[in-house]
Structure formats: structure tokens, C-alpha cells
Amino acid sequence: MKTNSVKYITIILLALASPFAYGQYRISGTVKSDQGKAIPSASVLLSPSNKGGKTDSTGKFSIEGLKGKQILSVSSIGYKLFTKDLSLDSSIYLDIILKPDARTLNEVTISAGSFEASDKAKGASLTAMDAFTVAGNNADLSLALRSLPGAQQVGDLDGLFVRGGTGDETKQFIDGTLLKNPNYPKVPGVQQYARVNPILFKGILFSTGGYSALYGQAMSSALILESNELPEKSSAYFAIFPPSFNAGIQQLSSNKRSSYGATLRYSNATFYNSIVRQKPDYFSGPEYFEGDANFRIKTGKTGMVKFYTNWNISDVGMRNADIDSAALKSSYQVKGTSIYNNLSYKDYLADSWQIDAGLAYSYNKDHTINGLLDADGQPVNPQNEVLSYKNAQRLIRSNFAQARIVFTNAFSNNQAIRFGAEHFYNQDRGFSKDSTLSVTDNLSAAFVEGDIYMAKDLAAKIGARIEYSSLLNKAVIAPRASFAYRLNDGGQFNLAYGIFYQEPLNEILYQSTNLKFSKATHYILNYTKKARNRFLRIEVYRKQYADLVKTVPVISNEGSGYAQGVELFFRDKKTIKNLDYWVTYTYLDTKRNYLNYPFALQPAFATPHTATVAIKKNFQEINTYVNVSYAVATGRPYYDLRYSIDENAYKIFDQGKTKAYSVMNLQIAHLFSIFGSWKQRPVSGFSVGVNNVLGTKQVFGYNYSLDGANKVPITLPATRFFYAGIFMSFGIDRTSDFLDKNL
């Protein structure tokens, strides 16, 4: 048997060694832009042989061992896909020209609008893996993007706080449809993490302002995510990072025209919290159980149907000393259930027409239980009416659905027009203590947008969006315009203007629907330059708020505000070999008069100065990388806002600024291979990390007692967060993902 095995292996090796053996041939050539410049690292793939590679620094490639009919595909970020049918009866050499594609979305991009004049020159370009691996983000995309300019370092609240906007003013979209509930249920003073995994997305567009007319209902920012298509091959993985465990598979069909996949994740921090002391006394969890599944099917030559579903349950219960009574404890527990479904379809109807359609449905249930406990942990029903409100339950069931369709007609010179419509259905039902809560809304929108190339170095994107809400019984029109001018030295100026509307939160609509859309007007100017793996971006902006919701003296749209500032982003992957770093600085001047604010104030989530540094060092010779992030910010304002009977209005009884924010996070990962004798050798690794390495005490604000006599700081649950674990991937060698892309 051993002799036969050696013989068979020898025959196979000899066949592979000669490109002309058994009628097999070579394809080689160069890949260049339409301006004659070589395109390095372009992906070259032949099917059905499934052979391929990447072009070298001069744009050249060579693939051997081919025969018969093949389909050649060549792709590179910022360029249109090149395909060619081949029938091989000899070796061939090809000169391939890739045409620029301003609409390609494969990287995170921060810009003065969601468009490019020629390539990704205008964007602060980060891959999905870059964002995913920023030290300290805990696999949460929103936290990772806080290392970019425009975002505030808010450690006690969920979501992205961008350019003076609240976390609710940033919305997330998956394949065009809204992700209604991106985070687990809110817990006072403790961040809750994202429900979706960023590794699922091939495209991430983080627009900090002036974004496309195709998206709405986000006054500050849009996080636009595009899911992966068919995997390159079947694979499986598992990871154990106590207190979290997760595993998944991706199965590619034999004809490579469809795939399906699923993952499961479970986390329970009870044991971890017993070792690392937490400030809240957790009596339940935090516990999270999550699963997702997907399938993808090619339809015809160019069509693709994708389906993604995610379901999860969570339970967080904690006790704290009651701020209004030294003898009592305050109990808070929230149980959440969420289901999200997304079905999308993309195809070319003709040579120049493309259709993008999507359906989404989500169900969300949050059950919150508040209570007062005595020293023995037993429930207390105080006679004091001031304290009795702390014993309460709240249950909200939400149903959300969206249908969306977009048509795009592409013209010559990358010019295009796109138009479409979408409809949102939103229903909330529930109760809070003795009150019934109910909201039903139908929001319809239509939009149109054009890409116009007015000259070789001058481009524009001009569009508009109209929205109508049945609940508010009001319609609005939102114009958008962006311009880009490219300089001879490769630099680029970008200018954007837009009006962005947003409905009041359901928390407000439970109480009153006699309201209108809130409004933000954006003015943005930036300069960018990308050269030799370095990128510089400087941006100034002004955002004017109108019709913000006020809750005092009555619920109305009498609020207003502004935000303005300067941002700097610099990234360098060139100067030091295998070292990638970026530096950001944000200056923010903002005030708003909304909710119960007595007049225009700097909001409690905003600070004037924020800076971050992210460093990734790749030690390729030992398959190890070190990832460090550091963020600093000036202190945030805090206020004791209470109703004054004497003045019949809300008044500031106490105010100040917190100490400066400073946090350093560290992550180290090492890759190795085990089971080397296996036919499909898995790639394994371990990772360790510490968030807040220096143990800096963070203060995010203060909670006040009802009479203002007691003042308690809002801090991290624990000074540091530690993690360590292992992972293993089968079927696909993830080394390039984890090391070449700095993971």
C-alpha cells in the first residue's frame, strides 16, 4: 500500500510540475489601469478550475496547469470587474485593462459624502478586518469605529455618537435595509454590545455626514454594510474565549453557485465576574445566546439572492446601592429577545441596468424589571410615594418591516442615475407600570440620485429624497449634493451639502404624536491625499439642528442646536515595515436645547477634544501580531437637571466636567498549525488582551438623588477587562486574513 501511495503521489506531482503535461497550458499577462499604470495585488481567478492568484508589484501574473474552457475574472478595489471567456489550446499572454468604478464598496470610507471621483482616494480607507481588530473593541463594530475621527469616546452608552449627535442619530443598514435594533437591550451605565458579527461583511461604509439620498432617518451618520457573497470554499471554525464560545460553518455547493452557513455564540459572564470584581452586583448573567444563518444563490449569470437571519436572547440582572436610601438596594433586570431577517436580490436587467431589492423583518422584545430590595435582598414596597415608582415593570414588543427597490442605469465615463422607493412599517405594543404604550407608523420614501462627471477631475453626486409618515401625517423633502475635485498631485477637495430628517423616538411618540420630523443640515469641506500607502484627511463641517424634541414645558419641536468642528486623520503603512498605524484628532463645538434642557447646553455625551492612536505590528517570521490602541478626550459636562417649583421650570442645580478620559488597550495574537498530517490542515491561534491596561479610572458622568443631596459617579463595571482564548479554522487558510491584514 505504501508503494502504491508513493507512486500515485509521484504521478500527481509530475503532472503538476509541467504546465504542458496532459494538454495543460499557462495564462500570463499584465493588469493595468486605463491610464497605463500597473495594478498590484489585483485578484485573478479562473473557473471552473478554481485556480488563481494576485498580480505582483508590476501588475504581472502567471497561472499554470490549465486546459479547456475557462472563465477569467480580474478584480481590484476601485475598478470594474473584468471577465473573459477562454478556450485554451495553447498558452496565452494577455494585456488586461481595468476601468475605474466609482461605485465600488469594499472598504470602510469616511468622506464628505458617499461617493468617489475616481478611486478610494477620498476615503479614510479601512478594511472590515481593520475595523474588527482595533484593540479594545470586543468584536463590536460600533466600538471599533470610535477610533476614527468624528466619533466620541462614550464608555457608558451604546452606539456611535458622531459630531454632536446622539447614538440614536446614527443608523445601520445591511444590504440597503435598516438594522432596527443593532445592540442588546440597554443597561444603565453599562455598554451593551452589537448583535451582528462584522466579519460577515465585505463592505463597510461609515459616513460621518453628507451621505447618499438612498438612505434616510439618520440625522448624523450612516453605517452602511454589504454582506459577503459566495465563499471561496467550504469552511468551519470554532473559538473559545471564556466567557464566550462560538462555532460556525460555511458550505459551498459542488457547482459553486450556492452556499449556506450558520454560527452559534454563547456567553455567560457569571464565572468571570466572580474572579474579576464588578461594581454592580450581578445576580443574573450577563448572559447572551445568539445564532445566525445564511444562504446565497446565484441566479443566472449575474444575479445573486442572499438571505441572512439572526436571533438572540439575553439576560442581565444587577443590584446597586439605592441612591435615595442608604438602607435599600436598587435592582435592575432586562431580558431581551430579538429576531432579524434580511433577504436581498441583485442582478443586471440589461447591459446598463441594475436592480437591487431587499426585504427585512425584525421582532424585538425587551422586558425590564425594576425593584427596591432590603439589606437581605428581599423586595420592599415603600409607603413613600417618591420611592414607590422604583418598583415597576416595562414590556415592549416591536415589529418592524421594510421593503426596498433601487434601479441603477450606468452610462459611459462612470456616470449613472439611480432611483427607487422603500416602505417602513413600525409597530410597538407594551406597557410601563400601569400605562399602555402603543405606536404604529408607516413611513414611505422615494429617492433619486445621479453621478455626474463634469470634467476629467470634477465629479458630482446630486439627489433628493422625499419621505411621508402616516403617524405624523407630514411629508418632507431632503436635497443632497456632493462635489469632488481632484488635483494634479493626487490630492482631492470634497464639498457636501444635505438635509437629513428623523422621526422622534418611540419613547416620545408613546406620549404625543402631534410632532414633526427633526432636521439637521450638513455643510462639509475636506481635503484628502493618498500616496505610497499613506493617507491624509482634513475636514471641517457645520451641522445645524432644527425642530428637536423638547419635553418641557410640553412635548414639542421647539428645540434647536448646532455642531461644528475640525477633524484630522493620518494613516501610514509605509514608513516602517510590517507596521500599520493611524492617528486621529477631533475638535467639536456643539450645543443643543432639547428634552428638558432649560437653554442651549453642551450635551453630556460630547467633549471638545478627542484623539486616538491605533498601532498594529506584524511579526511575520513568528506569525504574531501586537495591536495597541490609545484614546484620550477632555472631560464631558454633567448636569443635575431638576424641576424647580418656585420657578415653574427645569433648572440646573449642579454642573461640572468629568476628569479627562484616557484608555490604552492591548491585544496579542499568535497563529500556528496543528494536525499537519490532515488533508485539510486547520489554522489555529490564540489571542490575549487587556482593555484599559493602565487601570485609569474613567468617570463618564454622575447620577443624582431625587433631592440632589447624593452624587454618584458613573464608571466602568471593572477597572480592567481581560480576555484570552483560542480559535481554529478548517477548510480555509486564514493566515493572510489574520496576519497580512493585521489580524
Residue 16 predicted with pLDDT over 60: no
Rounded Cα gap, residues 367 and 392, in angstroms: 11
Look at residue 113 in the predicted model and tell me its pLDDT. Answer: 34
* Beta carbons of 528 and 494 less than 8 angstroms apart: yes
Q: Cell numbers at residue 231, please?
A: 465563499
DSSP state of 10: H
Edge to edge, the sheet with strand 92-98 lists 60-66, 25-33, 92-98
DSSP 373: E
Average pLDDT over residues 252-256: 91
Which range, of 199-208, 224-233, 637-646, 733-742, averages the lowest pLDDT? 733-742
pLDDT score recorded for residue 130 = 65
User: 355-370 pLDDT, tens per residue?
Assistant: 999 999 999 999 999 9
Quote the mean pLDDT of the chain: 85
Kindly state the average pLDDT of the residues 280-285: 92
Select the more confidently predicted residue: 426 or 737. Answer: 426
Over residues 600-616, the mean pLDDT reads 95
Residue 249: pLDDT above 70? Answer: yes
Q: Is residue 218 within 8 Å of residue 170, measured between CB atoms? A: yes
Q: How many helices (H) and strands (E) does the chain have?
A: 7, 37
Neighbouring-strand partners of residue 238: 247, 728
pLDDT for 681: 62
Q: Indicate the pLDDT class of residue 547, thresholds 50, 70 and 90.
A: very high
Strand partners, 313: 289, 337
* Measured torsion, CA atoms of residues 469, 472, 475, 480, in degrees rounded to the nearest 10: -80
Quote the pLDDT of residue 680: 59
Is the model more confident about 293 or about 223? 293
Which helix (H) or strand (E) element contains residue 728? strand 721-730
User: Is there a contact between 233 and 261 (Cβ–Cβ < 8 Å)?
Assistant: no
Q: What pLDDT is recorded for position 675?
A: 64
Cis peptide before 48 (omega within 30 of 0): yes
What is the average per-residue pLDDT within 551-558? 94
**Omega of the bond prior to 286 within 30 degrees of 0, cis?**
yes
Q: Give the C-alpha separation, 134 to 108, whole Å.
A: 13
Q: What is the model's pLDDT at position 412?
A: 72
**Per-residue pLDDT for 524 more than 90?**
yes
- The predicted model gives 585-599 an average pLDDT of 96
Please give the radius of gyration of the chain, using alpha carbons only, rounded to the nearest integer. Answer: 27
Which percentage of the chain shows pLDDT scores above 90? 52
In angstroms, the Cα distances linking 154 to 56, 108, 145, 406, 611 are 43, 21, 12, 36, 13
- What pLDDT band is residue 12 in, cutting at 50, 70 and 90? very low
More confident residue, 533 or 240: 240
Confidence of residue 453 (pLDDT cuts 50, 70, 90): confident
Asked whether the beta carbons of 523 and 511 are under 8 A apart, the reply is no
> Residue 1: is its pLDDT beyond 60?
no
Least confident of 194-198, 241-245, 398-402, 437-441: 194-198
- pLDDT number for residue 734: 47
pLDDT at 737: 44
Among the listed residues 171, 177, 172, the one whose alpha carbon sits nearest the alpha carbon of residue 342: 177
CB 702, CB 635: distance < 8 Å: no
Give the best-scoring range by mean pLDDT among 122-131, 180-189, 378-387. 180-189
Per-residue confidence band for 385, with pLDDT thresholds at 50, 70 and 90: confident
**Cα–chain center distance at 7:** 52
C-alpha distances out from residue 316 to 221, 242, 410, Å: 29, 17, 50
Lowest mean pLDDT among 103-107, 337-341, 676-680: 103-107
Task: Collect all residues with Cβ–Cβ distance below 8 Å to 530 and sequence separation of at least 6.
Answer: 120, 121, 125, 490, 536
Q: Which residues contact 452 (CB under 8 A, 6 or more apart)?
A: 415, 459, 460, 461, 462
Please determine, for residue 47, whether its predicted confidence score (pLDDT) is greater than 90.
Answer: no
